[in-house]
Chains A and B, each alone.
Chain A
Amino acid sequence: MSKPGPPKALVRFFKWYCRSPLQESILGDLEEQYFEDIGLYGQAKARRRFTWNVLRFLRPGIIRKLEGNRKLNNYGMVKQHFKTTFRIIKREKLYSLINILGLTAGFSIALLTLSYVYFELNYEHDNPNSERMVRITTDYLDGGTLIDQDCETYHPLGPMIKEQFPEVDEFVRAYGMNAAVVRVDERNYSAQRIFSVDHSFFDLFNYCLIRGNIETALTNPMEVVLTKSTALKYFGSIDVIGELVWSSTTRAEMKVVGVSEDSPANSHFKFDMLYPYSLMKETLAKRETQWSSNDTYTYFLLNQPDQYGQFQQSLERLNEKLIAEEKIVNERIISQPVRDIHLYSHKTFEVEANGDARTVYFLLGVALLVIVIAVVNYINLATAKSLDRAKEVGIRKVIGSSRRQLRLRFFIESFSINLISGVLALGIVAILTEQFVHLAGLPSGFTLLSIPMFWVLFTAIVLISSFLGGLFPAYTIASQNPITILKGKFSNSSTGVWLRKSLVIFQFAIATFLLIQTFTSIRQLEYMQTKDLGLNSEQMVVIKAPATGTEMKNFGPFRDQLLSQPAFNNISLSNAIPGLPTSMMGSTTGINLIGSDERHSYNFFTYFFDEHFIPGMKMELLAGENFREGVKQGGDVIVNEEALRLWGITDPQNAIGRKVTFGDESKIVGVLKNFHQTGVKSNHIPMVFRHSYNWGVYFSIRTNPGNIKDQMAEIEELYNANFNSPFEYFFLDEKFDQHFRADEQFQTVFSTLSLFALLITCLGIFGLASFTVAKRQKEIGIRKVLGASISQIISLLTKEFAKLIIIATLLAIPVTYLAIQNWLEGYAYHIDIQLGLFAVPALIVIGIALLTILSRTFQITNTEPVNVLRNE
């Protein structure tokens, strides 16, 4: 029967401009006239006349003043909504506490994780050039199959590519020098990260010199640039231009020509000291034009960031040309954007151990899941509570609240609680940042609070979470008919119950997923830590051999003095040590068996050791024998099992006496059982060892059980008595542990996240259980009166939740299976997926959840029925 009213937009427009005391009567008149007009002239004309009338009212006296003295916003109402919210928080302490605790925990844990993710994703972003920078690397091929990837390439490639590729603006080469001893004022220091670089380095990597002239720095061979902290370490000052440092690399004095800022923590290329590239030509007789060794890092700056595709194509053509010219054999030069290096590049000879994109995105996902779980808690409790809230809504409606105002009220409540939690979370983040930075391996002093992006994220998280939290109550409760509500007929809608059930399932599925994943990562870490390394890394002290040949003459006396003490039972000499990065070793491609037709170009790693090395490390010889003391064995090599595998020899005995193309040719005298040269995370690598006394870089000392401090003091005393170089040492087992430091960090961060996820989930179900139990008090009272036993009541109350949790677990398991399978494949040696990996965490989740629910139900079943029933 209702006739179409006047155009709504116009009415709204009128309300907007008209002074409020006049509004009602005028609008009434307008509408009355409108309906009369419909009768007289028909609807179209009535609408026209209405429009005209509304417009005619646009005159002084009717239009509200710009800054009216009458308040026309609903500020007062909003204020009142905040007030009621805080009353509710105060009145319903448990409910508010659960919400705030859950959200605070969720927010703070997520914000901390996001800071880690942010740091990892922003690698190289401090350098504006990085967007246009690429690195070229070498792939080793065997026919069509990729054998190995090396991030270093040949020296001539840099200038050659700059000249031939129109899209390349500039190149820079960086040759990684061995760690050196640096002497300043008769004091020795060890310098780790030294590179010989082209002058364009400063430009491309965006460094400026805080002392010295950047135009001329590193143009002469015997110059050196220090970083600020290196300068402070050596000289205690940064005003060091013109000072001299003696370096064991050149065995000569070098002049300091510049001091640069320290390398930013978020750059993959960090250095302590820079030499000029020309140094290599002059002093080390290195090959500007030689294609014999690929051992330099090469970077290019493109003209435009979008030219990367073009660069790759040019590189394809160059590869074909180089292969045709036989400059490269069984190799291929490929490229990677510099910004991808940190997260995606895992090649041999990386400048530093890189991060892993998978881990970063995985943690990002988990952080979001934790927030989601916390928000779900809020939604669950809010819908469960809607019954209580319905009366308030009914009264508000009767008094005259509009639906929109009521919705606002629920959003304000959600916003208040989220805001409180957000502020608390900020406090927690501020307090925990330092510990977290340490735990996650971020640079010290890194803080999120100074990053604008953090605040954007923070605001977004709080707002989105408020919105989601308020959404359901706002749209279900606020839409109820006040009469039904106030008559007490309102009950939880079936959508509400359905929503709540699915959310509980969702939460527990996530919690189970996270816990299984955590459990797997703990087991995998345990497996790696206890895996047989093929050598004994315990009780092994490795010390740096002295830097100069003259000092090495004292090795004999040092050795004798050391072994005369009962605490030490072996000392050996070698130029590389298991557990150190592959870059410490030499490598040669394509060592092949003589007398076999097969030709491969696998990358073999090589180093030298003396005859005490194998027994000292407790490695196992499968066939043949060790090098012999005092015998020149220039042509003899010991190889490992992996090398035999590549050569196609199955029985180690058959390898003895075979000759290989290493040096001119070498004879295999022994086969070593595989040992984990590069830690248990990576595959075994093919290795060939030579005998030498002259190439010692490390002394490995096997100590007998005893007081390690006394032993170290003795070693140091003897070392200082015989050598001038600084005494440096490490324990071999610690070096091996370093390989899974990243895994340990990941595991700790991840376990913490999962733990919180589980905690928040349990908090939610605790709240939900309390609520359900409170609602059913009377029912339980009656059941008890009628003779139900306590166990019957408990099972009645628990069954509902238990069902949900078991469904959740069953849902989680297949997804988790795929996830952990994928995750474990990232490890060369990993545990098998067994039932226990799922069963234990799943049972833990179910157990904890049931305990939580029981703690609530048990309380209620113990109350006397009389207490709950007498008030009827």
Chain B
Amino acid sequence: MGRTSYLGEFEELILTMVLILENDAYGNSIVKAIKEHQNREINLSSVHITLYRLEEKGFLTSKMAGATKERGGRKKRYFQITNAGKALLQEMKDARMNLWKLSPYLKFSS
């Protein structure tokens, strides 16, 4: 395996969420989506920190846009997944699937 970066569970979750939300991925929407899909309460600050870390690692890009009145006229920072990010997610998924395939329980049931 030639992977250079490893993602933690939370990082992977966030990265996945950015992938899912496509053009509407910013701090608040991610918090909401995680709550909706996973019923998990996440603090905004953790989301932001993780987003910035992922951006630093090159898996995300961001741009400022979409000011609304509810935000006191402030812009959102929209995140988008990069190809590297997508490849990493794919790779992680494949790696996990490969591992699952080795599970005897899985074998028996299939």
Contact = CB atoms under 8 A, between A and B. Distances in A.
B71 A22 contact: no
Interface string B68-80: 1011101111000
Given A22-B52, A33-B28, A27 B74 contact: yes
B71 A31 contact: yes
Given A27-B74, A31-B72, A53 B45 contact: yes
A33 B48 CA distance: 14
B70 A25 contact: no
Contacts of A61: 49, 52-53
Q: Does more than half of chain B's interface fall in helix, strand or loop, or is it mixed? A: helix
A24 B77 CA distance: 8
Interface residues of B, number: 22
Contact of A25 (B26, B49, B53, B68): B26
A26 interface: yes
Interface centre among B28, B70, B71 (most CB of A within 10 A): B71
A673 to B, nearest CB: 94
B45 A25 contact: no
B53 A28 contact: no
Interface in A2-25: 5, 22, 24-25
B44 interface: yes
B44 A25 contact: no
Contacts of A26: 27, 44, 48
B43 A32 contact: no
Nearest to B51: A25
A746 interface: no
A35 B70 contact: yes
B70 A29 contact: no
A27 B70 CA distance: 11
A56 B44 contact: yes
B52 A32 contact: no
B64 A29 contact: no
Interface in B57-110: 64, 67-68, 70-72, 74-77
A5 B72 contact: yes
B49 A29 contact: no
B72 A59 contact: no
Contacts of A62: 45, 48-49
B43 A25 contact: no
Contacts of B77: 24-25
Nearest to B67: A28
A57 interface: yes
B69 to A, nearest CB: 9
Given A24-B64, A56-B43, A62-B48, A29 B27 contact: yes
Given A57-B45, A62-B45, A25 B72 contact: no
Nearest to B27: A29
Contacts of A24: 64, 74-75, 77
A6 to B, nearest CB: 8
B58 to A, nearest CB: 17
A25 B75 contact: yes
Interface in B15-43: 26-28, 31, 43
A450 to B, nearest CB: 57
A29 B26 contact: yes
A824 interface: no
A61 B55 CA distance: 13
A32 B26 CA distance: 12
Contacts of A33: 28, 31, 44
Nearest to B50: A61
A811 interface: no
Interface in A28-59: 28-33, 35-36, 53, 56-57, 59
B75 to A, nearest CB: 6
Given A53-B43, A57-B45, A62-B45, A32 B53 contact: no
Contacts of A29: 26-28, 44, 48, 71, 76
Nearest to A6: B72
Nearest to A35: B70
A30 B72 CA distance: 10
Given A32-B28, A53-B44, A56-B44, A27 B72 contact: yes
Nearest to A24: B74
Contacts of B72: 5, 27-28, 31
A614 to B, nearest CB: 100
Contact of B70 (A32, A56, A57, A59): A32
A33 B31 CA distance: 10
B71 A28 contact: yes
A32 B71 contact: yes
B49 A59 contact: yes
A46 to B, nearest CB: 13
A755 B43 CA distance: 73
A760 to B, nearest CB: 49
A92 to B, nearest CB: 38
Contacts of B68: 32
A226 to B, nearest CB: 83
Contacts of B71: 28-29, 31-32
A30 B44 contact: yes
A761 to B, nearest CB: 50
A99 B86 CA distance: 68
B64 to A, nearest CB: 7
Nearest to A5: B72
B24 to A, nearest CB: 13
5 tightest Cβ-Cβ pairs between the two chains A and B:
A28-B74, A25-B77, A28-B71, A29-B27, A56-B45
Interface of A: 5, 22, 24-33, 35-36, 53, 56-57, 59, 61-62
22 contacts: A5-B72, A24-B74, A24-B77, A25-B64, A25-B74, A25-B76, A26-B27, A27-B72, A29-B28, A29-B48, A31-B71, A31-B72, A31-B74, A33-B31, A36-B70, A53-B43, A53-B44, A56-B46, A57-B44, A61-B49, A61-B52, A62-B49
Interface of B: 26-28, 31, 43-46, 48-49, 52-53, 64, 67-68, 70-72, 74-77
